[in-house]
Copies of this chain bind each other. A is one copy, B any other.
Amino acid sequence: MTTEIEKHITGCRTWPHPEVVEDLARLRQIAPLTHCITNSVVTNFTANVLLAAGASPAMVVTMEEVADFVRIAHALLINVGTITTTDAEVMLKAAATAQQTNTPWVLDPVAVGALKFRTDIVDQLIRFQPTVIRGNASEILALGGFAGNAKGVDSTVSSLAALPAAFQLAEQTGTVVALSGEIDYVTDGKEIITIPGGHEMMTKVTGTGCSLGALIAAFLPVTGTAVRAASAASALFAEAGERAVREARGTGSFGVGFLDQLSTIGMETRKIYI
């Protein structure tokens, strides 16, 4: 099955692919207002990732405001990582509004399949047609109806093993799927883009996966297609991760260096700050 799938691979994105360079420049110019409804562990890191890359993050999370803010925002992220009863209602409202207003949005179905409540909510959220679903292998397998073998938020399956499920999920739902792992894959159910690179240390800093979902959202109003948005964000993450690991002394300085790299990548020839 895997070789059958691999026939659909049409491209590869690594920095400095001209499309990624161009999309990043546009992101920095537009600074898309990116509405994040995300989990309590990664709010700070997610905001800092978006700011570093050049987007404008905003977390608006109450029922009274969420629909109004989806209307103002350029893009939306919904991440169910630490979902609560109240959050679920807010997320459903946000997703319904995004569909109504054609606001592009990303669904990050953290640990879907492992716990019934969030699995039900994710099922409902998907009906509002996310522009992109971003997940690891276990999550994408779970969404595709396969057993994902999830262990908390971390996948125990390789991304390649989940690629057929990702392709099929994209095909059936009309949603672009961004599958994260040793190699990232982005697919719309027709073509598949591969994004190699990155580093295992990215799994040792909380929020690298979740903030990738946020950056994909930020790229959606910037690039021509959702495949391109997800590919650009993934390629930037892979490159920033590789650069950061070279100078890291451990996971703490890696996280800091990752933000440093995101905030300076593509500006190599000019000194922007000072």
Contacts and interface: CB of A to CB of B under 8 A. Distances in A.
B85 A51 contact: no
A4 interface: no
A248 interface: yes
Interface range on chain A (Cβ under 8 Å from partner): 35 or more
Contacts of A245: 273-274
A12 interface: no
A52 B151 contact: no
B56 A151 contact: yes
A257 interface: yes
Contacts of A60: 82, 111, 115
Contacts of A117: 62, 64-65
A263 B273 contact: no
Contact of A68 (B52, B116, B262): B116
14 contacts: A39-B59, A48-B205, A57-B206, A60-B111, A60-B115, A62-B82, A62-B83, A64-B116, A72-B114, A199-B273, A245-B274, A250-B263, A252-B260, A253-B256
A183 interface: no
A256 B246 contact: no
A59 B82 contact: yes
Contact of A274 (B72, B246, B251): B246
Interface string A238-261: 000000011011111101111111
